[in-house]
Structure 1
Amino acid sequence: MSHIESQLQRLGLKLPAPILLPPGVKLSFPWVHISGSRAYISGHGPLDSDGSIAGPLGKVGKDLSLEEGYRAARLTALAMLASLKVALGDLDRVDSWLRVFGMVNTDSSFNSYPLVINGFSDLIAEVYGGERGSHARSAIGVAGLPFDLPVEIEAEVLIRP
C-alpha cells in the first residue's frame, strides 16, 4: 500500500469508484491529461462511494449551507484523487499540488466561496501534508454548474515518473 493510501486509511477516508456519468452523457475529454511532468485534472464534482454524483445538489447559500458546500468540496477532492489513481497508478507519484481552481454554484447573495473551497484544500493538505499539499488557488462563484453541482474543481499537479 502506498504512503498516500495509508494516509487516507489513517484519516478514515475512502476513494469513490470511478465517475459514473448520468445516463445519456458522453465524455469527450480525459479526466486527467498527462503532459511531461504535469497532470492537468478536469473539473470534478462531489461523488458518492459508487461513483455517482453526491447530493445535496443546488446553490450554496440557498439550497445548501456553507457546511454542506464545504463537505461537497471535500468529496470533490476524494473524487479527484480517485481519478488521479486511475491515471497514475499510484497517488505517491504526485510530487506536489500546483494550482486549484474552485467554482461554487451560488447566487449573488452568497460570497464566501473561499470558505467552501477550503473543504478541498484542507483535505489535500491533510493527505499530502505541508509542501506537497500546498497549492495556489482561486475560488469564484458562478450562476450554475453542470447537473446542478454545488462545486466544481479543477487542478494541476507535478508528477514523478
Structure 2
Amino acid sequence: MHIENRLAELGLQLPEPMNPPPGVTLSFPWVRVFRDRAFVSGHGPLLPDGSLAGPFGKVGAEVTEEQAYAAARLTALAVLTSLKRALGDLDRVTAWLHVFGMVNTAPGFARTPAVVNGFSDLIVQLWGADAGDHARSAVGLAELPFGIPVEIEAEVAID
C-alpha cells in the first residue's frame, strides 16, 4: 500500500507531534494499541512544527465551512503522525473502522458532516475505499479545546 508514498505524491507531509500550549499537560496517550486495534485520541489541526493550526473559533461565525474542511484535513495528517509514531509504519493500518468528528459550531450551523469530510476524504484518498471507508459521526459542540474548529478521534484495525 505504501501510504507514505501516496502522501508524497499528493505533496503532503506529516506534521511534528503536537506541542501543547504552555502550561497544558495532556495525561493520556495519543494512540492506545490493543491487540489488533489502535484507538486514536482526539486530535486537532496542526502546523508542520506541531503547533495548533488556525483559524480558531466557531464554524459558521469566525471560521468558514471551507476553512473548517481544511482544518479537518490537517487533523487527518496529525492523526497519521501519531499512528506512525505508535505503529512504526502507516502500512500496518489495514482498515479504518470508526471516526468521531467534533465541530466547534456557532448556533445554527448544521453542516458538520461537510466539515468532517475533510478528514474522511483524505483517508479514503490514501487507503482507497476498501480500507479507508469507515463508520462515522460528525457532531456540533458548543466548545472545543483551545478554540480549535474541529477535533477528531478514530479507531483502526492493524496487523
TM, length-normalised to structure 2: 0.98
Q: Which runs of 4+ in 1 moved over 4 A?
A: none
**Stretch moving more, 102-111 or 67-76:** 102-111
Counterpart in 2 of 1:61?
60
Q: 1:108 offset after TM fit, Å? A: 1.9
What is the root-mean-square deviation in Å for CA atoms of aligned residues? 0.8
Deviations 1:36-64 (A, max 9, x none): 00000000000000000000000011001
**In the TM superposition, what whole-angstrom CA distance separates every residue of 1:137-161 from its partner, at most 9, and x where no partner exists?**
000000000000100000000001x
Q: How does 1:71-82 map to 2 (within 5 A)?
A: 71-82=70-81
Task: Report the Cα offset of residue 93 of structure 1.
Answer: 0.2
Work out whether 1:145 is the aligned partner of 2:147: no
Structure 1 unaligned segments of length 5 or more: list them: none
Q: Distance in 2 between matches of 1:71 and 1:104?
A: 13
Residue 71 of structure 1 deviates from its aligned partner by 0.2
Alignment partners' CA distance in 2, 1:3 and 1:65 = 33
Matched with 2:153 is 154
Cα displacement (A) at 1:79: 0.2
Matches within 5 A, 1:1-161: 3-160=2-159
CA displacement, residues 63-111 of structure 1 (integer Å, 9 cap, x when unaligned)? 0111000000000000000000000000000000000000000122110
Q: Is there any run of 5+ residues in structure 2 with no aligned partner, and where?
A: none
Letter in 1 for 2:45: P
* Structure 2 CA distance for aligned equivalents of residues 139 and 157 of structure 1: 17
